[in-house]
């Protein structure tokens, strides 16, 4: 099986009561993007959107070939390690590591190390995967 062509990863918190500055203070890092419910945020293509719910998002650069272990480590590298604070945030808001996997063919794979899986779980975060195929359907003989 071939490696995943490209991966994107971000740390996200969503919730109606989110104050991005509070999360930044707790984690010790400014987000790539953040907004209170009803506030404005800018999409990657520059469009301003009204936030339907509060949001705090930290992105890492995309990797080709995909390397989720590296990307998750980069997300956590500059953030505080206070697991109680992380669990409190995850209990108040919807927290996750959101991953985009971009395939160049219909059969590619990627794995996560036990250390990466543990780091995500100890913080009370979900792992969410969006997988984008390089083909609509594999050819069937």
Structure tokens at 61: 């650069």
Global pTM value: 0.89
* Choice between 43 and 91, residue whose per-residue pLDDT is larger: 91
Per-residue model confidence (pLDDT) at position 133: 84
Q: Are 6 and 65 within 8 A, CB to CB?
A: yes
Per-residue model confidence (pLDDT) at position 87: 92
- For 63-96, give one letter per residue: b (16+ CB within 10 A) or e: beebbbbebbebbbeebeeeeebbeebbeebebb
- In whole angstroms, give the CA distance from residue 43 to residue 20: 16
Per-residue model confidence (pLDDT) at position 83: 96
Per-residue model confidence (pLDDT) at position 140: 42
């Amino acid at each position: 099986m071939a490696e995943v062509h490209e991966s994107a990863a971000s740390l996200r918190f969503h919730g109606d009561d989110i104050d991005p500055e509070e999360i930044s203070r707790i984690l010790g890092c400014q987000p790539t993007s953040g907004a209170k419910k009803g506030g404005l945020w800018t999409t990657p293509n520059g469009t301003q959107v009204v936030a339907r719910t509060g949001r705090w998002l930290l992105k890492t650069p995309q990797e080709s070939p995909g390397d989720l272990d590296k990307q998750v480590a980069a997300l956590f590298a500059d953030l505080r390690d206070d697991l109680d604070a992380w669990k409190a945030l995850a209990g108040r808001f919807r927290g996750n590591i959101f991953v985009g996997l971009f395939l160049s063919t219909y059969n590619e794979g990627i794995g996560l190390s036990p250390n990466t899986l543990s780091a995500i779980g100890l913080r009370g975060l979900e792992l969410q995967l969006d997988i984008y195929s390089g083909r609509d359907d594999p050819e069937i003989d």
